[in-house]
Amino acid sequence: MVTPVIGLIGGSGLYDIEGLEGREWRRVASPWGEPSDELLFGTLAGVRCVFLPRHGRGHRIPPSELNYRANIDVLKRAGCTDVLSLSAVGSLNGDLPPGTFVIPDQFIDRTFARKKSFFESGCVAHVSMAHPLCPRLGDALEAGCRDLGLKHHRGGTYLVMEGPQFSTKAESELYRAWGCDVIGMTNMPEAKLAREAELCYATVAMVTDFDCWHPDHDHVTVEAVVRVLLANAENAKNLVRAVVPAVGAPRGPCPAGCDRALDAAIVTQPPYRDPALVAKLDAVAGRVLGGA
């Protein structure tokens, strides 16, 4: 049986989680560099939780400069088994207005300036990303939204752009033609790295505004966006408090196999593996690499 430890990644407007007992901010070192911030350790309804503000407290780090590898690595080192990611997004779908919580099941990765894998020359691996989000965690998030009466939508495609600038109108229309539902800047390569680290991962994409395709976009003020952002953040904290007890109960292996993603992924044969890289992979891939 697995005793879950829930990792929480807070996006824009979420720099702390109130209600944690035994709160302690603690630095966790990573061989992949500096993570966004210290980790906040504590328990919620008896479940061990670890919170990381994605952009750092005070929102200091832009999307392209986040050290995604270090962020996922320190959560793994902290013992996390499951990760709930919270992020602010724009809507590409007229049926998903500001204030909607979207629980996507797919991503399109349009980022290009980020380190996207823990596996480099000296230890090559290829994990499956056909289904990039853990359906078990998605079920729990959907149930939590329903129980709290939050406007929500299960399923959909989250397009991840590089940023930090927002889309041109032509780009926004292109992404809508592709069938994308929301757009943000942070869930890739975060989800890919979580899969490589064999962490169950799911996202709550919190809509703050319509992207620039919408005819009324020009009428949306910064004040209105901030107002939705803050309301979303408060609802997200309530959602975390509702969902953590459900996903924190002892369980068996992940039915989707998230926790066994590396079983057949590593292709570099043991005699050819770079010992220095293998040492850096101790937390992420120690289960399958062992002392190789």
Strands (DSSP E) contained in the chain are: 6-10, 21-26, 39-44, 47-53, 82-91, 101-103, 106-110, 152-154, 157-161, 182-184, 200-210
Place of tokens 């992020």: 87
- Dihedral (CA of 19, 22, 27, 30) sign: negative
DSSP 262: T
Judge contact between 195 and 127, C-beta under 8 A: yes
56 and 36 in contact (C-beta within 8 Å)?
yes
Helix axis angle, 135-148 to 222-247, nearest 10°: 110
Candidates 73, 105, 211, 259; catalytic one: 211
Q: Which two tokens stand for residue 182?
A: 């929301």
Among the listed residues 209, 218, 263, 274, the single catalytic one is 209
Q: Is 209 a catalytic residue?
A: yes
Q: Is the backbone peptide bond immediately before 132 cis, with ω within 30 degrees of 0? A: no
Q: Which residues are catalytic?
A: 209, 211
